[in-house]
Amino acid sequence: MPSGRKLYPFYLIEPKWQKFWDEQQTFRAFNPGEFIPPEHPFGQRHRLGGKCPSADELPPKFYILDMFPYPSGAGLHVGHPEGYTATDILARYYRAKGFHVLHPMGWDAFGLPAEQYAVKTGQHPRIATERNIATFRRQIKSLGFSYDWSREVDTTDPQYFKWTQWIFLKLYNSWFNPETNRAEPIETLKYPKELDPEPAELAKLSPQARAELEKRRRAYRDSKRLAYVAEAPVWWCEALGTVLANEEVVDGKSEVGGHPVVRRPMRQWMLRITAYADRLLEDLDKIEWSESLKQMQRNWIGRSEGAEVVFRVANSEDTITVFTTRPDTLFGATYMVLAPEHPLIDKWLREGGVIPAEWPASTPQLWTGGEPTPSAAIAAYRAAVASKSDLERTDLAKEKTGVFTGAYAINPVNGQQIPIWIADYVLISYGTGAIMAVPAHDTRDLEFASKFGLPIVQVVQPPDPNTDWRGYVEDGISVNSTGPEISITGLPTQEAKRRITQWLESKGLGRRAVNYKLRDWLFSRQRYWGEPFPIVWRRDPDGELYHESLPESALPVTLPALDNYKPTSDGQPPLARAKEWVHLPDGSVRETNTMPQWAGSCWYYLRYIDPRNDTAFVAPEAERYWMGSKYAELLVSRKQTGTHAALERGQHESPKPGVDLYVGGTEHAVLHLLYARFWHKVLYDLGYVSTPEPFYRLVNQGLILGEDGQKMSKSRGNVINPDDILKEYGADAFRMYEMFMGPLEDTKPWNTKGLEGVYRFLGRVWRLFVDENSETEFEQAETVTPPEEKIRLLELVKLHPAIKLTEPNRGQLRALHACIKKVTEDIENLRFNTAISALMVFVNEALSWETRPAAVLRDFVVLLNPFAPHLAEELWAKLHTGLLKPGAPPPSLTYEPWPQFDPTYLAEETLEIPVQVNGKLRDVITVPADIDNAGLEAAARTSEKVKPFIAGKQIKRVIVVPKKLVNIVVG
RNA sequence: GCCGGUGUGGCGGAAUGGCAGACGCACAGGACUUAAAAUCCUGGGACUUGCAAAAGUCGUGCGGGUUCGAGUCCCGCCACCGGCACCA
């Protein structure tokens, strides 16, 4: 559609109402105890103006949250407004329904792009960050979303990250008590006996011994904290100059930028998320997230149950512990594999005795890797593995590699000696870094054993005798599983597992065990643009470094100014350049790592609740009010819509706590959502929040593709810029089109022609309400009025003469109430596309009415408001000043009660009933609405169109679905 | 390979086991106009028969099943999308 003349003056209407909402603070939410100005429309609706209502006096809350954006330099993408529009519709709907809606927005503004720009230009990243935030804020505001801007947060604001650091201190000063299964203050930590002498004994110790004890106690304490330091192999990215979390490395490259990464041991801060693995898993059952999302989290946590089994090593006191999910296949273990990095290998190479100097007699050439001795083979293999990039290691997974170590282990169930190998298909980071290999019943082991000619022994019989037992990995019946002390032959898999585990346990050779794929969270980054740690390092009298937290009074720890944001030449983080900042007067030295971007987004939904509080990260009363959802079941109630009887009667079901609805993209399915849940649980355990889960209901919006059906990208040139759309069609059309495209959660292609259809619809709405002649006058006046005065001209546009204060007729009421019903149900079920379709159906019909009753149009405007709020406000104002209440200012549309659906208006006088013969449609008959089944059947049988199909045939059965359908079954 | 999801006109998509294709786009014809744009009206799944009005048959990825009746429920395939991927 060419630009130029617009179908309606959205370019005046939209800024007009955005300014109005800003000035009126229409969407401001009030915390318990907060003063509500007498003139505020929320206060007026709920008769709370001029008061300071408590949580109990306030209406039920509804917390609707968007995933806050990273304000990139590229500005808003069409994907952002999709989720934001969905939540805005709900926010406006629930306000109309009488809820107290919290709907905030903010900025996840720490991050790499701003820092990289700073490295390049030497300009402080704050400057670019603030510029980008300003752009995002302008763009988001131009879409007319009903955010409470007084609650805007910015993760890079010291007043915000003060509390991010504060939460870190809570993590640092807590430990996970496995007995209570929750985090507790570090003071409750119980020390092992040798570190916890009786006071009498303690008194006897020399000062030196006491200092030594205190040092050991500190080491123990530090090893138990939820935030701890570990020398761990981490992913180092040279190009980015930082380490990355496992989750930030994809296919052996950095998720950001796709740079190569290498494994390197470094001293790093870790968060003990693994302690929460079980609770993170179990509590998924308490929340309403999509099944696929829950499944992704479950996979990520990767819980697996099995047993640890201890194998003795031949000619040694050493033992190898393996983790297996199939202890029932122990009799089939014909070799063992250690990860190449396994520490036992180092020990054996150092000490000798286990790994022989020469290959054992009759060692196949294939097992030796072509090396003359076992130690040479091990060294060569390790070198080969270390030089492989991670990409190669996964890509070449098809071909298994490994070498024999020359050592043997002893299978505890039958005393057999089995060779010990090293191979990189066993990962040092999972389980114990060692496996027992059962080639008959494990795909990987079978592949390996086949390649190297290792024995394959069947120990499970598949239920179907025709199934090949080789490579059979499912349950079956144990066979060949009898040893001198234990037999499980003949037992089904589940029973066999139990029995063998019991036996192992009784012998001290193993125990039940659970393993997780989830690793502890690598929490430090060698970057500038992130939260500094509230941590300092000191040296003890022996010169050893130890860490200590800063007191809360030292918060926020702010970032020092630098003139160069690069890491130092000796590989230290950029903060190490700030010598004065790093060295404190008392001789201690600041931590120079910063926190990862996830830190700020882990808890922002809590800060929105009380964003300006400078004595607490959130006040308890406010937290309990906004997070303690008593009303979420109303959103969840899928069927009983239109009636909010439970709410009206003040009856509420059991609390479904947390943010009522959280909308965002799937890209955060694991990382952000898992990290945030983890922090929330820690805060819950420590008594700072009142709910075990942060986000009660979560919906992922689908991706918007380019017009060519491809993912939008600059290189494809198919990117749609929201600013262009807004200029051409207006915010209401843009928002409404994004909702009309299809179901919120689906991936769907953009189509500007489709947008034009929605825009034309809004033009029809405009013409339904306004007088054409007055519009011509308005347009003429526009040509001679300076731009800044044009908004006033909207008053020249008068109501359509067909709009009258008359009683609506039956048909008009039916059209209205059909619309109310459909729109209400669809909004509650997040089916915005069909809700919009219902609005279109109504308008198409209403345009044909000779008189347009004001009362009907008035209700329609309330229904339109969540979708096209600017146009709705303008029409609402015209309706009131022109007809409903001339002279008086119109009541607030935002807080106008949602129309009640009345089913009596939907009743028809006649019904159209399909008549089938043998399930095939033959006629549609018109019958009185009050017809009974017998009458309906009779009418169907006498239909002229039906007669030929039943004539001369035996009628076997007639199915009558009351007031719905007749099906005549003939023989 | 494993897990989750989705398959409906030319396109985006609608359909508590009960008239498949609402609503919109695109398209075609018409009205208004000197003309165009905008707007309004009409039409349309495919095939067959018929000048037409109309009628019939087939039709929701494929093959089976349950049912008076299946896009919808069950079983078995196929394709595509997303996630995980040597996790013992």
SS3 state at A106: strand
Among A735, A602, A662, smallest CA distance to A140 is for A735
pTM here is: 0.92
pLDDT at A3: 52
CA of A840 to C1' of B27 (A): 22
Q: Which residue is nearest to nucleotide B67 (CA to C1')?
A: A919
Q: Which residue is nearest to nucleotide B2 (CA to C1')?
A: A299
Among A487, A572, A469, smallest CA distance to A528 is for A572
Q: Could you read off the pLDDT of A647-670 as tens digits, one per residue? A: 433 334 444 589 999 999 988 888
pLDDT at A393: 61
User: Which of the nucleotides lies closest to A436 (Cα–C1')?
Assistant: B88
Q: How far is CA A850 from CA A774, A782, A783, A806, A809, in A?
A: 19, 30, 32, 12, 12
Q: Which residue is nearest to nucleotide B11 (CA to C1')?
A: A751
Among A267, A273, A318, smallest CA distance to A297 is for A273
Residues contacting residue A586 through CB under 8 Å, at least 6 positions apart: none
Beta-carbon neighbour count of residue A313 at 10 Å?
A: 19
* Eight-state DSSP code of residue A365: G
pLDDT at A651: 35
pLDDT at A828: 93
CB A64 within 8 A of CB A697: no
Residues contacting residue A416 through CB under 8 Å, at least 6 positions apart: A410
pLDDT at A199: 87
CA distance A525 to A242: 6
CA of A463 to C1' of B77 (A): 24
Q: Strand B nucleotides below 7 A of a protein CB?
A: 3-5, 11-16, 18-20, 22-26, 37-41, 55-58, 68-70, 81-88
Contacts made by residues A352-360, CB under 8 angstroms, sequence distance 24+? A353/A315, A353/A316, A354/A313, A354/A314, A354/A315, A354/A316, A354/A318, A354/A407, A355/A405, A355/A406, A355/A407, A356/A406, A356/A407, A358/A406, A359/A404, A359/A406, A360/A406
pLDDT at A884: 81
CB A866 within 8 A of CB A92: yes
CB A766 within 8 A of CB A860: no
CA of A290 to C1' of B58 (A): 38
pLDDT at A397: 54
CA of A451 to C1' of B85 (A): 22
pLDDT at A639: 33
Contacts made by residues A561-567, CB under 8 angstroms, sequence distance 24+? A561/A124, A562/A528, A563/A122, A564/A122, A565/A115, A565/A118, A565/A119, A565/A122, A565/A125, A565/A528, A565/A529, A566/A119, A566/A241, A567/A241, A567/A242, A567/A526
User: Which of the nucleotides lies closest to A388 (Cα–C1')?
Assistant: B86
User: Which of the nucleotides lies closest to A393 (Cα–C1')?
Assistant: B86
pLDDT at A396: 47
Q: How many CA atoms lie within 13 A of A512 on its CB side?
A: 5
CA of A309 to C1' of B20 (A): 60
Q: Could you read off the pLDDT of A597-648 as tens digits, one per residue? A: 999 999 999 999 999 999 999 999 999 999 985 544 444 443 333 333 334 3
Q: How far is CA A954 from CA A918, A949, A957, A967, in A?
A: 12, 11, 9, 14
CA of A844 to C1' of B41 (A): 13
Q: Which residue is nearest to nucleotide B55 (CA to C1')?
A: A945
User: Which of the nucleotides lies closest to A247 (Cα–C1')?
Assistant: B84
Stretches where chain A sits below pLDDT 70 are: 1-4, 245-247, 251-252, 389-398, 629-656
Q: Could you read off the pLDDT of A816-860 as tens digits, one per residue? A: 999 999 999 999 999 999 999 999 999 999 999 999 999 999 999
CA of A935 to C1' of B50 (A): 36
**Class of residue A753 by CB neighbours under 10 A (exposed 0-12, middle 13-18, buried 19+):** exposed
User: Which of the nucleotides lies closest to A293 (Cα–C1')?
Assistant: B4
CA of A286 to C1' of B7 (A): 32
pLDDT at A688: 95
User: Which of the nucleotides lies closest to A702 (Cα–C1')?
Assistant: B82
User: Which of the nucleotides lies closest to A924 (Cα–C1')?
Assistant: B19
CB A337 within 8 A of CB A430: no
Q: How many CA atoms lie within 13 A of A872 on its CB side?
A: 25
pLDDT at A923: 86
CA of A22 to C1' of B47 (A): 61
CA of A654 to C1' of B70 (A): 38
